[in-house]
C-alpha cells in the first residue's frame, strides 16, 4: 500500500517528499540525494505517482509505503549485485527498507551508477 497523502496528489518530487511523515521524509530525502549524486544529469519527475529518474531511459524510482520505503531499479542491476542486495530485495527490481532503518546509501549509489552505465551502453 502506497503512502496516502492528504488532498490531491503531489505534482513535484519535493511535494511528494514533503507530504510524507517525518521519519519517512528523512529517508526519502536521503534516497533522493543519493540518486542525484550518482546520476547528476538524470531528469527528475513523477511517474506513476512516484519520484522517477530518467537518463537514456528508466533509471530509478522510489516510493513510500505504509511500513517501508522502496527503491525500484529496472534492468539487470539487482541481479548483478545479488549478494549485496539480498537483505533488501523484495522483487525482481525492488529493494525495501523498513521505516526508520538505516539506508545503505553507498549501495544505492553503486546501483544507480551501474544502472546509469547500463542505460548509457544501449
Mean pLDDT of 38-62: 96
- Give the tens place of pLDDT for each residue, 52-104: 999 999 999 999 999 999 999 999 999 999 999 999 988 889 999 999 999 99
Query: What whole-number distance in Å separates Cα of residue 25 and Cα of residue 71?
Result: 14
- Give the tens place of pLDDT for each residue, 2-21: 555 556 789 999 999 999 99
Domains by residue range for the chain, with CATH: 13-121 (3.90.1150.200)
Measured CA distances, 47 to 52, 62, 85 (Å): 6, 10, 24
Tell me the pTM.
Answer: 0.92
Inform me whether the pLDDT recorded for 1 exceeds 50. Answer: no
Mean pLDDT of 27-40: 98
Amino acid at each position: 500500500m502506497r503512502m496516502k497523502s492528504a488532498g490531491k496528489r503531489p505534482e513535484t518530487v519535493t511535494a511528494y517528499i514533503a507530504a510524507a511523515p517525518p521519519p519517512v521524509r528523512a529517508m526519502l530525502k536521503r534516497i533522493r540525494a543519493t540518486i542525484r549524486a550518482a546520476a547528476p544529469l538524470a531528469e527528475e519527475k513523477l511517474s506513476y505517482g512516484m519520484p522517477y529518474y530518467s537518463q537514456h531511459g528508466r533509471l530509478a524510482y522510489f516510493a513510500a509505503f505504509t511500513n517501508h520505503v522502496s527503491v525500484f531499479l529496472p534492468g539487470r542491476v539487482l541481479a548483478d549485485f545479488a549478494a549485496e542486495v539480498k537483505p533488501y530485495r523484495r522483487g525482481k527490481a525492488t529493494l525495501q527498507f523498513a521505516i526508520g532503518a538505516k539506508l545503505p546509501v553507498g549501495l544505492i549509489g553503486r546501483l544507480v551508477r551501474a544502472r546509469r552505465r547500463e542505460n548509457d551502453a544501449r
